[in-house]
Structure 1
C-alpha cells in the first residue's frame, strides 16, 4: 500500500532493481507504488553515450525472469531509470489494472518489454513513458493486449523478432 523507492544513486551497478527469478504462481497485487527515481539518470544520458568512462547505471525496475502462472495487478510503477517491467522467459503471466508513468522526455523508459515469453496478457492499463508503452521482442508468442491507454509514449512495438534465428 505504500511507496517502495529505488536508490536515487546512479552508481549502483545492477541489471534490475527488483528481480523475480524462477517462480511459479507469483502474485504482485495492491495499490502501492514502485518508484524507480529515474530522474537521477535521465539528464545524464546524452553525455553518457559519448564517453567510454560513463558510470551511470540504469537498472530495470522490475524483472520477471522465468516466472510462470503469475499476475501483476493494481500496482503502479513510476519514474523507472530504464524499463518499468521486463518479462523474460515467462509463461502465462497477466498484467491487469497496472499504471506505469514516466515523463515524455525520460529516455528508454519502456513500460513493459517482453522477450522469449509465451501467453502474456496485458489489459486495462494506463501507460505513459518516454519510449514504447509495450515492446515485444524476439521469441515471444501468444501475446494479448487489450484496453490500453498509451501516452505519452511511442505505442506498441514489435521488433527484432528474427534476431535470434540462425541464418
Structure 2
C-alpha cells in the first residue's frame, strides 16, 4: 500500500522537492516488500511448499531489473515519465487484492516480545564486521582500525550467538 500510494504521489508530483519526497517514501515501501513477503511465506507455507513459495516471491525481484529499463524507456518515449509510476497503481491494487484473498488475517494469540539484547548484539556485530570488511578495500586508512572493527564485529557476533542460544524467544 505504501509503495503504491508513493508511486501515485511520484506520478502526480509537480516539483522536484515533491518528487524526491515521494521517491523516498516509495523506497521505504519497496524496502518493506521483500522482508514482509518472506515473513508471510515462512509463516503460512507448509514445509513441503516452502521452496516453491520462496521462489514465487523471489522471481519478480529478479525479473523486474531486466524488464524494467526496457519497459520504462518505452513508456517514457511513447507516453510520459509519469506513467512509469502510474503503472504501479493497478499492480499494487491486484497485489493487495491477492493478499486479502490468500493471506490469513489471524495473529499469534501470544506474541513474543522483541529480544532487545539479541537485536542490538546482532545488528552491532554485523555492522562492525561489514564496515571492517569494507575498509579492507581502503588500505590507506590503516590496518589497525580495520582489524579492530573486524575483531569487534566477530566478538559481538559470538556474544549474540551465545545470547540467542539461551534466549527464550
TM-score (norm 2): 0.22
Q: Answer 1 or 2: which has greater helix percent.
A: 2
Which structure has the larger Rg?
2
Q: Quick check: which one's strand share is greater? A: 1
Q: What is the TM-score with the length of structure 1 in the denominator?
A: 0.22
Determine which structure has greater relative contact order: mean sequence separation of CA pairs < 8 Å that are 6+ residues apart, divided by chain length. Answer: 2
